[in-house]
Chain A
Amino acid sequence: MGKKNAVTGFRGMMIAPVTENTLTSYKSAAAENLPFAGTMSRTGKESSTDLYYDDTLYAQVKEVAGEDVEIRIAEMNPAQMAELGLGEYDPTTGILEGDFNVPNKEYSLRFITDTVGRLPYYWNYRVLEMNGIKYDNFNTKKDSTEVCQVIITGVFKRPQMASVAPWARMQLKEDNSNEAACIAFLAAAEERPAP
């Protein structure tokens, strides 16, 4: 019987700025770590139309244009917050001057999930339009410890170039022969068409 591939866990997030996203090209820079992953929840942006012929349902045409996404992490350093557009950080004083808005930049989001069979999946969502970074509600300490998480919101979209899929997934082979390729899939810059 083959290895079981039910997904467990969520870790190793990396984020890469999309530098080109046009009808004829897609490019992302090399990715940086986005550590302390907690959860990622997604909601499809769907529309559907029911078609009736011969007095019965003929077809349901469904279109999913993208996914609203919310990512929760334990912490983010102020320099990275500034880099993602939340404000300006002065390392000399340690002060982050923050805004409520981020400038809706596009990123490629990559991460790893393990499987029951211990052959992890490496994921790449190619266009995340980030539209928010904020801290969750603040609470005084009480009996049970709770981390005030950093919440990143955005929308997964299709790349403009038609031949580039909005997301891709690679799996580590049993003999680890493609491990270097998996790591590159996660961390390296990407260019389409391939150079």
Chain B
Amino acid sequence: MIDHEEKIIEALVDIPGLKHVGDTYPEGLADVPSIIVELASDRVVDWRDDKPYLRELEYYLRLYGASKRTMRRILAEMDSRMDAIGYWRIFRREQSDADVKLWNTTYRTNAYNE
């Protein structure tokens, strides 16, 4: 199984101003800005010798924050650090409510089947 969650957390953990990155959701404004890492999909995109040869992985990175200005800065840093580990952002959507702002982003990469 290919699992890049730890690799992603390690790449993002020391973004300046970020309070938390991991798989647990923030409980309140005191815990933001934070990034939640979740596997969106892991699928085979090419077969060779009757076996999976190449996979495509997508991760949801949910960026919670209180200020869009801060979130823009953090998103730019996310893009740069994810690019450095082979991921590119393919989707972004705002899903904010009255209490907290949420930007849902999807990052994608290819990996050899392991």
Contacts and interface: CB of A to CB of B under 8 A. Distances in A.
Interface string A93-132: 0000000000000000000001000000000000000000
B56 interface: yes
B49 A11 contact: yes
Contact of B110 (A37, A143, A145): A145
Report the interface size class on chain B.
Answer: 10 to 19
A74 B48 contact: yes
Nearest to A33: B49
Interface string B53-92: 1101000000000000000000000000000000000100
B14 interface: no
Given A145-B54, A145-B110, A147-B54, A12 B45 contact: no
Contacts, number: 32
A74 B49 CA distance: 10
B114 interface: no
Interface in B24-51: 45-51
Contacts of B46: 74, 145, 147
A9 interface: yes
Contact of A9 (B45, B50, B90): B50
Contacts of A143: 90
B45 A35 contact: no
Interface string B96-112: 00000000000000100
Interface string A1-23: 00000000111100000000000
Nearest to A38: B48
A143 B53 CA distance: 18
Given A74-B53, A145-B54, A145-B56, A37 B45 contact: no
Given A10-B50, A11-B50, A11-B51, 9 more contacts: A9-B50, A11-B49, A36-B48, A36-B53, A73-B48, A74-B46, A74-B54, A145-B45, A147-B46
Interface of A: 9-12, 35-38, 73-74, 114, 143-145, 147
Interface of B: 45-51, 53-54, 56, 90, 110
